[in-house]
Amino acid sequence: MAANKITNEYDRKKELQEFENTKLGVKGLVDSGITRVPRMFHHPPETLFDLNQGDSRGEQNCIPVIDLCAPHQDLVRGIREASAKFGFFQIVNHGVPVTLLDRVVKAMKGFHELPPEEKMLFYDRNWNTSGKGVGYFSNYDLFYSKAASWRDTLQCLLGPVSINPDDIPDVCRGEVMEWETEVKRLAEKLMGLLSEGLGLPADKLKEVSYVGRASLTAHYYPHCPEPSKTVGIASHTDPGILTILLQDQVGGLQVKYNDKWIDLNPVHGALVINIGDLFQIISNDGYKSGEHRVVANSSNESRVSIAVFFNPGTADNLYGPLAELVSHEKLALYKQFKFSDLAMRFLTKELEGKAMTSHFRL
């Protein structure tokens, strides 16, 4: 009887390790022809109860699409309002050729669809400490989340130390290098506008101490045979300063606003911008970090998104509400802390949930 009980018990740790050992990620499961989502990907009811209930129709709940060629004061105001209300907005007329954006998406899809024997050579869960600064894996929180999510990831460190181009996979090397130049230029422009939106000089937040570290994360969401049982990415906020996201046209990204999930529908040629936890903290809640998630991909076409995360270049500097944003009328809402403490807390907990800002709140 006892032997039967042991045999019938679900061994999650074993399933996770067997999945990890393949080095083929979720794409490998799909290629194997599975028709059911393995149990290790099953999310609990509290994650799934309102799945696919995104609202893209309500006028009140539309994530703004902002034209960077608008008059300057209108532009600053629009970005400020979107960052304070949603923590998210899309931008168009940003100066990056749409042809480059399309090539970046195609190149990242190309990497994830390489033959298994080529792709698995880049499998490295510890990519950030291995010295290469490039790694492919599935679910950074695979071994300590309550459920895995239906996606694979390629990550490249873009700063503060420039990546060795030879370490980037051939199939996307040129596009990564081109995109790095454009996205860093764009981040500097956006940080100037966001700084002005807080009533600060445009150059206040462009320093290395705020956006000196950048990493590229290319997610791949293959078709999911049972999208009601899992997610593409669980709900979370980004821990750092600013995220610039390039997504394809498949869709699936949702933003939480007033306890309701809003579809952030793709706009061809647009880039998605979102505020991170550290920006909410240094702005003393002038801006909010946007909670978001990605639903599992029910489309027969794989979804690709490429996020570049901008974080402080010096992790051991102290951060908290900017002195200019604290007064007798508006007291500091957060304590001082090192960004390394925030990053460590983020990387040692499962992705789901919004916990960074509340952890440092006074």
Q: Structural domains in the chain?
A: 22-360 (2.60.120.330)
Looking at 20-29, 81-90, 129-138, 217-226, which range is the least confident one?
Answer: 129-138
Residue 293 to residue 232: CA distance in whole angstroms: 8
Residue 306, pLDDT > 90, answer: yes
Q: Between the CA atoms of 274, 160, 157 and 130, what dihedral angle is there, to the nearest 10 degrees? A: -140
Contact 266, 249 (CB under 8 A): yes
CA distance 255 to 87: 9
Residue 272: in which H helix or E strand, if any? strand 271-275
Share of the chain above pLDDT 90, in %: 75
Looking at residues 123-151, what average pLDDT do you find? 89
DSSP assignment of 36-63, as one string?
S--GGGPPPHHHHTTTT------GGGPP
Q: What is the DSSP letter of 204?
A: T
Question: For residue 54, what pLDDT is reported?
Answer: 58
Q: Residue 56: which pLDDT band, with cuts at 50, 70 and 90?
A: low
- Using CA atoms, how far apart are residues 295 and 222, in angstroms rounded to an integer? 12
Return the closest-CA partner of residue 150 out of 43, 33, 263: 43
Q: Which amino acid is at 30?
A: V
Q: Would the pLDDT of 48 be above 60?
A: yes
Per-chain mean pLDDT for the chain: 90
Bridge pairing between strands 88-92 and 65-67: parallel
With 0-12 / 13-18 / 19 or more C-beta atoms within 10 angstroms meaning exposed / middle / buried, residue 104 is: buried
How high is the pLDDT of residue 55?
58
Q: Could you tell me the pTM of the whole model?
A: 0.93
Q: Residue 359: which of 346, 350, 351, 145 has the closest Cα? A: 346
